[in-house]
């Protein structure tokens, strides 16, 4: 029993020492000056909404730029708060390294639709249903026009934007989404002289699947300009109106 207790005590002692050593090794000397800043923009979707210079500018404008400051005077929490307050940044992480440098990682928000509504408002909807200001940024996205209420647009239409953007075919095929006064969605394709009547975003995957099948098996034979409207609003049906 004593041997077992001795082994346990030794094991705990070694573990405690290792933890202390790791913490001590990685601990930043607060008297050191920040010698450099590494900014990482996790922009997998290449939207270009946020770049290194804009991150630097945000910090400079808020008097939080760390380079040249003593480590003890650098407020990581405040830096993260300022960065996340940007309408174009989703997440921000700031941390110090033992060599005196600092690293900032930011993850931009991902816009999926560009809205130009009947009220003259110009904004983006992101992939989480949030609203992003247009600002000086511009990227090529599917445009949504018509009777779009800015207050409810995000939750209503972000799923449609995500679905169209993640599918290469639909991302290229859909040119514009029009919201009627009654709130129904009409899609204008890049190829084919017809309007796709989607209705709402319910059963979205099924509707888009039906339309893609109809493109391959129906319009491929009948011709892409034969129909004026193609209605997907009803389950298991594709209803076409001839010209």
- Residue 243 confidence class, pLDDT cut points 50, 70, 90: confident
Residues 172, 73: Cα–Cα separation, whole Å: 50
Residues 124 and 223 in one domain: yes
Residues 81, 93: Cα–Cα separation, whole Å: 10
- Residue 98 confidence class, pLDDT cut points 50, 70, 90: confident
Residues 94 and 121 in one domain: no
Residues 141 and 226 in one domain: yes
pLDDT digits (tens, 9 = 90+) for 73-97: 999 999 999 999 999 999 999 999 8
Alpha-carbon distance values, 220 to 76, 171, 217, 240 (Å): 58, 20, 6, 14
Residues 139 and 213 in one domain: yes
- Residue 16 confidence class, pLDDT cut points 50, 70, 90: very low
Residues 168 and 232 in one domain: yes
Total domain count for the chain? 2
- The CATH number for 139's domain is 3.40.50
Residue 14 lies in a domain: no
197-212 average pLDDT score: 96
The predicted pLDDT at position 14 comes to 44
Tokens, residue 180: 């009627």
Return the number of other C-beta atoms located less than 10 Å from residue 213's C-beta. Answer: 11
The answer, yes or no, to whether residue 9 has pLDDT greater than 80, is no
The predicted pLDDT at position 223 comes to 80
Give the position of tokens 């129906």. Answer: 218
The predicted pLDDT at position 182 comes to 95
Kindly state the percentage of the chain with pLDDT values over 90: 72
3-state secondary structure of 27: coil
Domain that holds residue 123: 111-242
The answer, yes or no, to whether residue 123 has pLDDT greater than 60, is yes
pLDDT digits (tens, 9 = 90+) for 18-62: 443 333 334 455 668 999 999 999 976 657 788 999 999 999 999
Residues 57 and 115 in one domain: no
Residues 188, 195: Cα–Cα separation, whole Å: 5
Residue 8 lies in a domain: no
Residues 143, 162: Cα–Cα separation, whole Å: 13
Residue 5 lies in a domain: no
Q: Model pTM?
A: 0.81
């Amino acid at each position: 029993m004593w041997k077992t207790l001795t082994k346990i005590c030794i094991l705990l002692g070694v573990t405690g020492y290792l933890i202390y050593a790791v913490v001590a090794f990685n601990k930043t000397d607060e008297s050191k000056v920040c010698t450099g800043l590494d900014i990482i923009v996790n922009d997998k979707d290449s939207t270009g909404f946020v770049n290194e210079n804009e991150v630097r500018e945000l910090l400079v404008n808020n008097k939080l730029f760390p380079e040249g400051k003593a480590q003890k005077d650098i407020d990581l929490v405040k830096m993260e708060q300022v960065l996340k307050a940007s309408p174009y940044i989703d997440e921000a992480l700031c941390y110090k390294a033992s060599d005196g440098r600092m690293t900032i990682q930011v993850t931009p928000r991902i816009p999926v639709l560009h809205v130009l509504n009947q009220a003259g408002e110009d904004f983006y909807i992101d992939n989480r249903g949030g609203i992003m200001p247009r600002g000086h940024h511009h990227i090529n996205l599917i445009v949504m026009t018509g009777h779009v209420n800015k207050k409810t647009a995000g939750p209503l239409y972000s799923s449609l934007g995500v679905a169209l953007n993640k599918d290469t075919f639909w991302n290229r095929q859909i040119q514009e989404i029009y919201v009627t006064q009654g709130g129904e969605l009409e899609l204008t394709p890049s190829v084919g002289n017809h309007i796709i009547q989607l209705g709402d975003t319910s059963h979205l995957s099924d509707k888009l699947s039906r339309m893609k099948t109809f493109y391959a098996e129906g319009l491929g034979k009948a011709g892409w300009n034969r129909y004026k409207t193609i209605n997907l609003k009803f389950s298991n049906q594709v209803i076409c109106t001839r010209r």
